[in-house]
Amino acid sequence: MQALETLSNKLDELLKKTAALEAENKRLTTSVAVGEKKIVALNKKLASLEKDVVSVRLGTAFTGDEERDNMREQLDNVIDEIDKILNTLND
């Protein structure tokens, strides 16, 4: 009789653990899907920015150091922003 009760308790514990693991799996799957969507969006943004950089290089020549420094600073800011987002996704 006591063996059945022990077995029943162990079964209840296993069912609770299984439910918790299934919930965690669902949460993690959702989190991965959201992260993948963000990565796709960031890749599109990066491709667009790369096209913009190419068109800027082809369309105009930098006339001075100040203009080149301004463009470099803008690009550095964009790259830093992308790095922050990617780091957030990795956490």
Q: Which domain holds residue 23?
A: 2-90
The total domain count for the chain is 1
User: What pLDDT score was predicted for residue 14?
Assistant: 96
Q: Which is higher by pLDDT, 68 or 4?
A: 4
Q: How confident is the model at residue 60 (pLDDT cuts 50, 70, 90)?
A: low
Question: What is the three-class DSSP state of 60?
Answer: coil
Locate 61 and state its tokens: 């020549």
For residues 32 and 83, the model is more confident at 32
Average pLDDT over residues 43-70: 76
Burial class (CB in 10 A: 0-12, 13-18, 19+), 38: middle
The answer to whether the predicted template modeling score (pTM) of the entire model surpasses 0.85 is no
Percent of the chain at pLDDT above 90? 43
